[in-house]
Structure 1
Amino acid sequence: MTSKQFHHTRLSVLDLAPIKEGSGAGQSFKDSVELAQHVEKWGFHRYWLAEHHNMPGIASSATSVVIGHIAGATNHIRVGSGGVMLPNHAPIVIAEQFGTLESLYPGRIDLGLGRAPGSDQATAYALRRTLNSSPEDFPLQVEELEDYFNGTARVHAFPGEGLQIPIWLLGSSGFSARLAAEKGLPFAFASHFSPDYTMAALKLYRDNFRPSEALKEPYAMVGVNIIAAETEERAKWLATSQQQQFLSLTRGQPTQLKPPVDNMEEAFTVHEQAAITERLNSEATMIGEPELVKQKLQQFIEKTQANEVIINTQVFDQKDRLRSYEYVAEMMK
């Protein structure tokens, strides 16, 4: 990869809208607005929020509402879902919600779709009132959603019908990679939490891609974790908040985002430490001072040949989060 190619790779933001220990959702949304306004100024391309439920540390459960809030507080950055878990919803509701967003903020809204329910069975039941639907129904649900936008469904979505809202398929395995290829849609792979299957999924997508009205050539985005700080020691310290979050999820006891700690080894067992270390030491997680992060990011882009990178920076202090994204913006100039 040439330096020019590296510097022309698009950068975007994945905001998990963290609710920090001792704080609440209101402050999370204020932090998200501040982050979105800064990254827009620094040249980031899009800003995505993810749907999670029954998670005390994530504020973006009503994803389309938060997307509207962010879009209303910014001027030109694209805003969207990374993603909406389509099995949780009637497709017509998503068509109407994103049709509303696109009507309010024309040319700026993305609709990223995932097929996992993103929750346990009790939460899935609370969302859907039934467990009869399956992630395997996802292709039919995507097709139904497209029919609402195209105006070819028996029922019509207003607003929504006739609007050109980019649909992305998101995945952490080969299923959505193949479906995105067959439908000629852009594909985003969740390397930030499923790094081992990244290359296989991207190959599956590119090898099977069929041009469509939406997209003539394959377009792939990869997710990464980046925590950049003035020293490697401080970056690793900041990263302990994310490590604690992974630990709580591993134990099935999700918590609010916790402040950094000086010694993570006291917090987990040997097996937990091995699992978390393996995930956070992957190529898709970059923690350190800016030059080290730049080298790792360049290597990852060169390896994946990604058109775009979407960055998750899960740190406790808002100033540290802003500074990390600023470092990344500076290294890509």
Structure 2
Amino acid sequence: MTRLADIQISTLDLAPVRADGGAAQALHNSLALAQHVERLGYRRFWVAEHHNMDGIASSATAVLIGYLAAGTSRIRLGAGGVMLPNHAPLVVAEQFGTLESLYPGRIDLGLGRAPGADQYTAHALRRERSGSADDFPADVEELQRYFGLRTPEQRVIAMPGTGTNVPLWLLGSSLFSAQLAGLKGLPYAFASHFAPRLMHEAIRVYRNHFTPSAVLDQPYVMLGVPLLAADSDERAEYLATSAYQRILALLRGQSLVQRPPLASMDGLWLPHERQAVGDFLGLAAIGGPEKIRARLEVLLEQTGADELIFTCDMYDFADRLRSYEILAELRG
């Protein structure tokens, strides 16, 4: 049986913006969190690309990764992920080739197939470009060429980028990327931190289609997990109400800035909304240390995951730091 101490643990950060804060505070907190989890022995620290969301400050992932890398020394930094339909592969290759050249051996590039934005934002990002999720397999291959050694017939190169072999991950919340990651022999990260419904089937599809490659000789699965850990179950349930409020706001199309925790959510949501928030957080680890341990070890037993990457949507930064501390202590 796989135990928590047997696997790598990592962090996925969205640089959350508080109702009483701003982007600068969120970005500085992101660096402080990266430094904190580096000291605790976490494997990697990824940031996610989101646009047109007032509560998330991690939109310019490559810029933020450079800031984080300059302020840390060992932890791997990466995108979890770059939404490839929003960008020309050459631009992504140059950005991450630059990061890898400056911080060799510390950069990851996770790739998402969905735009991750509404149609108006997608248009603002792409303008007249025709890219879509259907281009994803070809775009991934194009990126692999840019990061590989230059060939004699290659007319366009990424500089920096050529020969850096930046590690690519495929991310997904459905089965398409699971199959593609398997066929290409790439590591696969499933977005179970917000879409857990297809998790088991996606893992099965990935492993069944896995073909050894120059990158991997066997499948490698990472799962996203919402982490809301505190020193007691009661404290964790109280702090989790900030996450509940933010997901409820997402479902309603309202502002996503972080809100303080509440004594109760009663009266704030309708029964179907409570169910939808619960489905969103279906894989969440919420509670004191022992409840967290039990929750994660059941997950590992059921999935055989190689790595878990944790989000933590708590209002007070000190509570977020403590949440990641508790998880690290459980591995000791």
User: Normalising to structure 2: TM-score of the pair?
Assistant: 0.97
Alignment partner, residue 236 of structure 2: 235
Distance in structure 1 (CA, Å) of the matches to 2:187 and 2:125? 27
Quote how far apart the aligned CAs of 1:238 are.
Answer: 0.7
Summarize the Cα distance change of 1:258–1:159 in structure 2 as closer, same or farther, 3 Å threshold. Answer: same
C-alpha separation in 2, matches of 1:214 and 1:273: 42
Query: For 1:153-199, what per-residue CA distance to the aligned partner results, in whole angstroms no more than 9, with x for missing partners?
Result: 42111000011210000000100000000111000001111111111
Task: Tell me the equivalent position of 1:35.
Answer: 33
Aligned counterparts of 2:4 and 2:302: Cα–Cα separation in 1:
12
Matched, 1:66 2:64: yes
| Pairing of 1:177-192 with structure 2 (within 5 A) | 177-192=178-193
1:272 matched residue in structure 2: 273
- SS of 1:205's equivalent? helix
Match of 2:173 in 1: 172
Corresponding residue SS for 1:266: coil
Matched residue, 1:193: 194
Aligned to 2:158: 157
Q: Which residue of 2 aligns with 1:95?
A: 93
Number of aligned residue pairs = 329
Residue 306 of structure 1 is matched in structure 2 by 305
Contact 2:83 2:111 survives alignment (8 Å)? yes
Displacement of 1:277 in angstroms is 2.4
Matched-pair identity in %: 54
1:131, CA displacement in angstroms? 6.8
In the aligned structure 1, how far is the partner of 2:197 from the partner of 2:256? 26
The answer to whether residue 295 in structure 2 is matched with residue 296 in structure 1 is: yes
C-alpha separation in 2, matches of 1:131 and 1:119: 16
**CA–CA distance in 1 between the matches of 2:316 and 2:68?**
20
Q: Secondary structure at the match of 1:107?
A: coil
Whether the 8 Å contact between 1:241 and 1:315 is mirrored in structure 2 is yes
SS at match of 2:266: helix
Q: Matches of 1:301 and 1:130 in 2, distance apart?
A: 44
In structure 1, how many angstroms separate the alpha carbons of the residues matched to 2:165 and 2:74?
17
Q: Which amino acid in 1 is paired with 2:131?
A: S
SS at structure 2 position matched to 1:239: helix
Amino acid at match of 1:290: P
Distance in 2 of aligned mates of 1:318 and 1:15: 12
For the aligned residue pairs, the C-alpha RMSD in angstroms reads 1.1
Equivalent position of 2:76 in the other structure: 78
The SS at the match of 1:93 is helix
Identify the residue that residue 115 of structure 2 maps to in structure 1.
117
Match of 2:214 in 1: 213
Instruction: Render the CA deviation track for 1:4-39: whole Å, top value 9, x for unaligned.
Output: x43120000001110111101111111111111111
Query: What code does the residue aligned with 2:15 have?
Result: A
Q: Deviations over 1:54-109 (max 9, x none)?
A: 00000011010001111110010000000000110000000000000001100000
Q: Contact between 1:265 and 1:273, CA under 8 Å: does it hold in 2? A: no
Runs of at least 5 residues in structure 1 that lack an aligned partner in the other structure:
none
Match of 1:127 among 105, 125, 141: 125
- Amino acid across the alignment from 1:7: A
**Residue of structure 2 equivalent to 1:14:** 12
Does structure 2 conserve the Cα–Cα contact (< 8 Å) formed by 1:91 and 1:141? yes
Range that drifts further, 148-157 or 306-315: 148-157
Consecutive unaligned residues in structure 2, runs of 5 or more = none
- Rounded to whole Å, the distance in 1 between the matches of 2:142 and 2:109 is 14
Question: Any idea what the Cα deviations from partners look like across 1:269-309, whole Å, max 9, x if unmatched?
Answer: 222112112333x2x21100111011101110111100000
- SS in structure 2 at match of 1:223: strand
Aligned equivalents of 2:131, 2:73: Cα separation in 1:
39
Quick check: 262-271 or 168-177, which moved more? 262-271
TM-score normalised per structure 1: 0.97
Q: For the Cα contact (< 8 Å) 2:38–2:75, is it kept in 1?
A: yes
String of CA shifts for 1:187-216, please: whole Å, max 9, x gaps. Answer: 000111111111100010001100111111
Shift of 1:132: 3.4
2:235 and 2:255 map into 1 onto residues whose CA distance is 25
Q: Which moved more, 1:227-236 or 1:82-91?
A: 227-236
The answer to whether the aligner puts 1:52 opposite 2:50 as a matched pair is yes
**How far is the alpha carbon of 1:257 from its aligned partner?**
1.1
Q: Distance in 1 between matches of 2:255 and 2:167?
A: 32
Residue 48 of structure 1 and its aligned partner are, at CA, apart by 0.2
Is 1:317 the counterpart of 2:316? The answer is yes
Q: Which deviations, in whole Å up to 9, do the C-alpha atoms of 1:249-271 show, x marking residues without a partner?
A: 10122321111112212212222
- TM superposition shift of 1:328: 0.1
Partners of 1:301 and 1:14 lie apart in 2 by: 19
Deviation at 1:133, TM superposition (A): 2.5
